[in-house]
């Protein structure tokens, strides 16, 4: 056993002598840390394929396939990586010719930018028109109930209820105000004892709150009516 140990020691000495001489290693103490030895040894790294090489390889591989198979593989790869990037399944886009897209866009009806109801409330409408007299107020109420409540024929009670809804001061005598508006030509008689706003009343309310413009509109309207009456009278006399 002593002889075997002696030969083993001589073998290790010969191996040390046959190693290349390194002056720096003579001064260094051998390290027993395996991690240090692994970090000092160079690592073999496999070069990653570049984008161009990968693309060339894919094209070369696909060239050997027939078009339907090639299209099926491309679609499968696209869906596979889309599913990886996004948890939810994303269908592959369908090609639509430009002429078809233009036809579809023109066939679709225009969508309004806002869908909420823009009808003014009775309170806001009267606040905007600023009626001063009861005649102006019942005419404004008649305009509102005609255009925003789809009630072209109404009774005095309907205007009184709408006046309350608009948070206006109670009409001192609603029936009297309606009669005076009718005498002024702003309201006219309709069927079954109801009233309706006249064309002149429409012009008057549309011009408010500019009261001078409202008076000018009614004056011009009356002048046109008188002119038509006189011309029709002259034709009958002739």
- The 10s digit of each residue's pLDDT in 117-170 is 689 999 999 999 999 999 999 999 999 999 999 999 999 999 999 999 999 999
Dihedral, 21, 23, 24, 28 alpha carbons, nearest 10:
80
Measuring CA to CA, which residue among 117, 137, 140 is closest to residue 202? 140
Scan for tokens 């592959």, then name that residue: 92
216 to 52, 126, 127, 219: CA distances (angstroms): 81, 21, 22, 5
User: What was the pLDDT predicted at 21?
Assistant: 44
pLDDT at 225: 65
CB 120 within 8 A of CB 128: yes
Q: Tell me, what's the pLDDT at 71?
A: 85
How confident is the prediction along the chain (238 residues), in pLDDT tens digits per residue? 444 454 455 556 545 544 554 444 444 444 555 444 444 444 555 666 678 788 788 888 888 888 888 888 888 888 777 755 555 555 555 555 565 555 555 556 555 555 566 899 999 999 999 999 999 999 999 999 999 999 999 999 999 999 999 999 999 999 999 999 999 999 999 999 999 999 999 999 999 999 999 999 888 887 766 666 555 555 565 5
Whole-angstrom distance, CA of residue 19 vs CA of residue 114: 87
For residue 157, the tally of other CB atoms under 10 A from its CB is 10
Q: CA–CA separation, 71 vs 41, rounded Å?
A: 48
Give residue 80's pLDDT. Answer: 76
Query: Which three-class secondary structure string do you get for 67-125?
Result: HHHHHHHHHHHHHHHHHHHCCCCCCCCCCCCHHHHHHHHHHCCCCCCCCCCCCCCHHHH
Quick one: pLDDT at residue 37?
47
**The CATH classification of domain 122-232, taken from the options 1.20.120, 2.40.50, 1.10.10, 1.10.3470:** 1.10.10
| Element holding 189 (H helix, E strand) | strand 187-189
| CA 139/CA 145 separation, integer angstroms | 10
Three-state secondary structure call for residue 208: coil
Give pLDDT, residue 118: 83
Structure confidence at residue 9 (pLDDT)? 58
Tokens representing 210?
């500019």
**pLDDT at residue 220 in the model:** 82
pLDDT score for 53: 80
């Amino acid at each position: 056993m002593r002889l075997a140990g002696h030969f083993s020691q001589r073998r290790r000495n010969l191996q040390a002598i046959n190693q290349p001489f390194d002056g720096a290693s003579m001064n260094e103490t051998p390290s027993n840390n395996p991690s240090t030895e692994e970090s000092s040894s160079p690592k073999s790294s496999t070069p990653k394929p570049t984008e161009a090489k990968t693309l060339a390889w894919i094209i070369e591989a696909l060239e050997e396939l027939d078009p339907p198979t090639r299209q099926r593989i491309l679609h499968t790869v696209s869906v596979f990586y889309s599913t990886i990037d996004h948890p939810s399944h994303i269908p592959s886009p369908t090609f639509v010719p430009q002429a078809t897209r233009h036809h579809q866009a023109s066939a679709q009806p225009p969508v309004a930018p806002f869908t909420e109801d823009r009808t003014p409330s009775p309170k806001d409408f009267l606040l905007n028109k600023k009626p001063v007299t009861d005649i102006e107020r019942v005419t404004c109420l008649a305009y509102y109930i005609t255009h925003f409540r789809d009630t072209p024929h109404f009774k005095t009670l309907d205007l009184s209820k709408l006046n309350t809804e608009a948070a206006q001061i109670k009409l001192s005598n609603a029936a009297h105000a309606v009669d005076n508006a009718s005498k002024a030509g702003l309201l006219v008689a309709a069927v079954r004892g109801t009233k309706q706003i006249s064309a002149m009343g429409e012009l008057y309310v549309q011009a408010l709150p500019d009261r001078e413009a409202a008076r000018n509109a009614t004056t011009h309207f009356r002048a046109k009516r008188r002119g038509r009456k006189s011309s029709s009278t002259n034709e009958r006399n002739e």
